[in-house]
Amino acid sequence: MRSDTIKKGMERAPQRALLNSMGYTGQELNQPLIAVVNSANEVVPGHVHLPKIAAAAKSGIRMAGGTPMEFSTIGICDGIAMNHSGMHYSLASRELIADSIESMVEAHCFDAMVLVTNCDKITPGMLMAALRVNIPTVMVSGGPMLAGEFQDKKVDLSSTFVGVGAVKSGAMTGEELDDLVSKACPGCGSCAGMFTANTMNCLAEVMGLALPGNGTILAISAERERLAKNAGVKVMENLQKGRLPREIITKQALKNALTVDTALGGSTNTILHLAAIANEAGIDFELDMLNEVSSRTPQLCVLSPAGDFRIEDLGRAGGIPAVMKELDKHELIDGSAPAVGSEKIADYYRNALSADGRVIHRIDEPYRDTGGLSILFGNLTPEGAIVKQGAVADNMLQTEGTARVFNSEEEAVKAILENYIQPGDVVIIRYEGPKGGPGMREMLAATSALSGMGLDKDVSLITDGRFSGATKGAAIGHVSPEAAEKGPIAIVEDGDIIYIDITNRKLELKISKEQMDKRFLNLELPVPKINHGYLKRYSRMVTSASKGAILEVE
């Protein structure tokens, strides 16, 4: 066993003394040592209940003959960090999570690990770590939150962001907003729509590193605890078989993830994370692969924020196994890909419920003939930009508009709420990319303000930052190269005409090459917004969004 390095032989007497001091028995130390990586804290709604999930996972490990040892990671709540300086740290925390797990696992020679996770950057950071340390691993999330109810409608966190704009436009009173706030998030769990947290928890299931139900079983249910116990049992089985994460998350697993992601109309952030996960696995990941997959994958689900169904509805309809089963009818899923819960991923969905035709459309009667995500290219974004096309109104799929340029999210939100933005405008928010942000902030406040002001079907938003999974409308993010790397978005001026063709995947700045060249000659970059601490180091090492915003040492 790998853990023998710290517990066997005369030379390891000091290590055994330290282990004894914590009350471990000889029998426990003779068993495999299993890391239980728990991101619980009292700050994040998706994490506040994770001690219970971790305890269940440890029970499963003990039942299967292992000795669990728990340690923690940080976790940032994107919703709480949204639309202020805290959001600079959100994406950047993904690297800290992966690094901290690597440090703990390698320093203490664990034999295997269970990852207890939830929320936006924590799940991908843990998946990156699993591939980096490459010991037998099973992931279990804390599960999604129940939707709230307000004025006889289902609501969630994104409803409150939209509510801010609705109050500004006069469509909602302040008292109604207060009432909405009290009802939107009724309990623990990751926010109730197909936002980044839930999309990544679902994709962990698709990629085979988590068990069926990981993405959709509710946080408050006893079934979630049973899933965690089973994760503890399964990690011991995978240890016995010697099955490693790099054998599970292969190119075929990543293609399966992209397929389900586009069928769900999931968060645009997943492309950042899948690219980073592929990098840790040593797998080539080209953005064009998403367009290839999306062009042949019908969109089967329209979930919040694009529609009215929530994750709880998807779970009742059969969850991710039901989605995969439907996709497999057209051979869009590679069922031979391995999984931690079975020999192959096909076993996850073989006996799943059939599509109900409401929450999960049948593959011959999809919402859309193509998937919910697309990569756009053009002279404004030579390395690509991403859009959740499944959440874009039909009239905005091909449009032309006048640029209104802002160098920060705050400037743009202020302009939107003060009625500066008019139908037909294209809001440009730049210097919010991985380097320029730094940290590539989410623009949910801006897109929600547009929605609340009734402009989401008339105004496009383009940024080198990114969007929350709770975003809807013609929101185009991850524009690469970013402004801080002297990408073309840096030279856009107020009044320029922007051509958007989402159907044909084009994004163009309608000026001549000569004009572009002249503007580049006169371009002066602003001083860094944050030039100290971790983010100073991060901004020097982080790569383009087109590469997953991974860190590279120059």
- The DSSP secondary structure of 406-449, one letter per residue, reads ESSHHHHHHHHHTT---TTEEEEE-S-STTTTTS--B-HHHHHH
Q: Which two tokens stand for residue 244?
A: 């490693």
Instruction: Give the three-class secondary structure for 462.
Output: strand
- Pull the structure tokens for residue 149: 């109810």
100 in Cβ contact with 252 (< 8 Å): no
The partner residues of 303 in beta bridges, in order of sequence, read: 309
Whether residue 468 lies in the annotated active site = yes
Q: In one letter, which amino acid is 453?
A: M
And the tokens for 365?
């009667």
Strand-pairing partners, residue 342, are 339
Tokens representing residue 115 in the block: 């990852």
Instruction: Please tell me which residue in 90, 468, 480, 544 is annotated as part of the active site.
Output: 468
Token pair of 399 as six digits:
């449009």
Q: Is 15 exposed, middle or buried (0-12, 13-18, 19+ CB in 10 A)?
A: middle
Coil vs helix vs strand at 490 = helix
Q: Which of 191, 384, 370, 371 is nearest to 275 (CA)?
A: 384
Per DSSP (E only), the strands in 237-380 are 374-378
Scanning the structure block, which residue is given the tokens 């000659």? 521
Give CA separation, 264 vs 159, 258, 306, in Å. Answer: 20, 10, 10
DSSP label of 84: S
Check if the beta carbon of residue 375 is closer than 8 Å to that of residue 385. yes
Residues noted as catalytic: 468
